[in-house]
Amino acid sequence: MQFYRRWQPVAAISFDLDDTLYDNGHAIARAEQWMLSHLRSEYLATAMLDKPRWLALKRDLLLAHPELRHDVSLARQHGIREALVQGGMATTQAEQEAERVFAAFLAERSKIEVSGATHALLARLAERYPLVVITNGNLDLAQAGLSDYFTLVCKAGMGARMKPAPDMFLQAQAALKLPPDRILHVGDHPETDVLGARLHGFRAAWLNEHAAPWSSLQQLPDVELSHLSELAELLL
C-alpha cells in the first residue's frame, strides 16, 4: 500500500467492477466467441460473420453514431442488428432477433468468477459503509452474485456518459448525500477510475495489481493498492 496524500476517513465507497472485483478479459472473450458462433450457426444472414468482420462493423457503427460509445449494451445490440440487416434480414425481424441474442450474450458475459476472499471483503465493508457501483460496463450484478452488497448501481448509458465524465460520479454523490471527498472510489484504470474520481472530488484508491508505473497516471490517487484485500487494512 502506497499513500500519495494524507489519509482521512471516508463515509462511503464506490467500486469499479471490471478488472477490479474480478478478471474481466476472459469473460468478455468467451462471451464474444459465443455470440459470433451463435450468429453463424443460427442465422443464415450472419453465417459468414467472423471476428474481423464484427470488429469492422462495430468500428463503422461507432464512427456513424459516436453517441453509442457511452453505452456498451446499446452499441452491441445495434451491432448485432446491423450484422443481420447487412446479411439480408428484414429490419423489424433483425431488431427482434438482436434483442434475443444480446440478452443471451449478457447472460454469458455475466458468468464471471469472483473469489471467495472478494465476497468476504465486500460483505464486511457493506456492514460498515454504503457501497455503490460506478461502471462503464454492463455486468448483470444479480447473475454474477454481487447485487446484495450495493445500495446503488450506476452504469454508463441511458444518458449517463462513461467515466471519466462526471455523470455517474454525480449520480452516486447525490444518492449518498455526501460531500465528494467523503467518498472513496476504488478502481484499476488510470484514466476512467483514478482521473475520473480525482476530477470530481472523490478520493481515489488505485488497484495496481500489475505494478504499472505511477508515471502512467494523469493525477495521483490518494492511495495505491497492490491487492484488493488491502482495503480491509485501510477501511476496517
Q: Where in the sequence numbering do the catalytic residues fall?
A: 16
Q: What's the CA gap between 81 and 86, in Å, rounded? A: 9
- Gyration radius of the chain over CA positions: 19
Cross-strand partners of 160: 157
- Spell out the residues 6+ positions from residue 166 whose beta carbon is closer than 8 angstroms to its own: 199, 200
Which is it for the CA torsion 71, 174, 119, 186, positive or negative?
Answer: positive
In this structure, what C-alpha cell is assigned to residue 227? Answer: 491487492
Measured between alpha carbons, how far is residue 29 from residues 24, 26, 51, 101, 189 in Å?
Answer: 9, 5, 11, 16, 19
Residue 216 amino acid letter:
S
